[in-house]
Amino acid sequence: MFVSFFSGVRCLYHGVIIYHLRTKWLTIGMGFRLVGMALVSWYFLATDQVNSGSVGAIIFLTGMIIECLVSMVEGLHLVRHKLPTKEPGHDIERSGQVFEFYRPLVFSSLIAVVIGPAINAFLGKSGDMMLAISSYAIASNLAQLMQSFFSYIHQIVLNFYRIDRVLVRKFTLAVAFFPGAMIGLMCYTPFGAWFLVHLMGIQANSELLRGILGAMHVFMIMNLIFPWLDYCNGLIMLFNQTKYMILSQSCNLATTLVVLVVLIFFAPGLNGTIGAWAQSLGCAAELVVVTLALRGLTRHRLRAPNTLSA
């Protein structure tokens, strides 16, 4: 509950910071956050208080509060000294105009929230429930970690596409393969097993280790897709067509559920890999929808600020 509040405040000031191209403060905030989380973690370990999942929640909340405070310090400075009360020539006059843009984002986020619990619920019906849920959770977190380094491509689109769309496309092309390559490094080299055994404490040659690596092989699909999905979503937001994100996220959820049902029924022994297939193919379906939406916008040559002119 508290994480949601501080995350909302943090995102507000992140928007101001990114708008002014002061993105180094995002790195600074994350640095302080990681140090704070490490200190709190060491405290719980040193005092032998790791007795429930709430400890992890407290550690995460501490990090979010720290990052939020750092963002507020820089964001408030920018608001007071550099952000005009109203942008000259801007046509946004009412809060309803902002809500018209934001409402589809809220609805699409609500749909996205269902995906995680749905996957876990179906994994409970797999061949080995504990193995499936645990291997999927660890593999998913590692895949998300690889993606997180490239999760701001939509911000690059929002800030630079109208200035030089060719350069933005080249940049996206240059970095798009890194998330997949990073998780591929863990899947296809000894580094992955070494990392899981020595840094995460997974038992060597265990079913859990094999399950994690198997799921990560499938998550390569999602990691290769994600940068392009983020790029397309940035264009959708740039041209104020966020209504398409409800459709794309709905297709993501529908595809995820279909894959879960099929694999649980026909191949329950895949365990955690079932969740990886469902999430990856759901992401692929979402990319197809936003790509078709952008093609439609291009074909009709909609004009700025609500349209696509490229």
pLDDT in tens, 169-202: 999 999 999 999 999 999 899 999 999 998 888 8
Cβ contact 245:108 at 8 Å: yes
Residue 303 has pLDDT above 70, yes or no: no
What mean pLDDT comes out for the span 264-283? 94
Confidence of residue 228 (pLDDT cuts 50, 70, 90): very high
pLDDT reported for residue 127: 85
293/235 Cα distance (integer angstroms): 10
* pLDDT at residue 307, rounded to an integer: 41
- Residue 88: is it exposed, middle or buried by C-beta count within 10 angstroms (0-12/13-18/19+)? exposed
Domain spans of the chain, in order of start: 1-85, 96-310
**Section 149-155 average pLDDT:** 89
Q: Single out the residue of 274, 181, 278 nearest to residue 220, CA to CA.
A: 181
Residues in the chain: 310
- Region 143-155 average pLDDT: 89
Share of the chain above pLDDT 90, in %: 71
pLDDT at 152: 87
Q: At what angle do helices 2-19 and 54-81 cross, to 10 degrees?
A: 30
- 168 neighbors 157 (Cβ within 8 angstroms): yes
pLDDT of residue 300: 66
Distance separating alpha carbons of residues 165 and 167, to the nearest angstrom? 5
- Using CA atoms, how far apart are residues 142 and 212, in angstroms rounded to an integer? 10
Q: How confident is the model at residue 82 (pLDDT cuts 50, 70, 90)?
A: confident
Residue-wise pLDDT tens digits, 6-35: 999 999 999 999 988 898 999 999 999 999
3-state secondary structure string across the chain: CHHHHHHHHHHHHHHHHHHCCCCHHHHHHHHHHHHHHHHHHHHHHHCCCCCCCHHHHHHHHHHHHHHHHHHHHHHHHHHHHCCCCCCCCCCCCCHHHHHHHHHHHHHHHHHHHHHHHHHHHHHCCCCCHHHHHHHHHHHHHHHHHHHHCCCCHHHHHHHHCCCCHHHHHHHHHHHCCHHHHHHHHHHHCHHHHHHHHHHCCCCCCCHHHHHHHHHHHHHHHHHHHHHHHHHHHHHHHHCCCCHHHHHHHHHHHHHHHHHHHHHHHHCHHHCHHHHHHHHHHHHHHHHHHHHHHHHHHHHCCCCCCCCCCC
Nearest to 178 by CA among 215, 146, 212: 146
**Distance from C-alpha of 286 to C-alpha of 255, rounded to nearest angstrom:** 9
Mean model confidence pLDDT for the chain: 90
Predicted model pTM: 0.84
The confidence band for 309, taking pLDDT boundaries of 50, 70 and 90, is very low
Q: Which residue has the higher pLDDT, 94 or 153?
A: 153
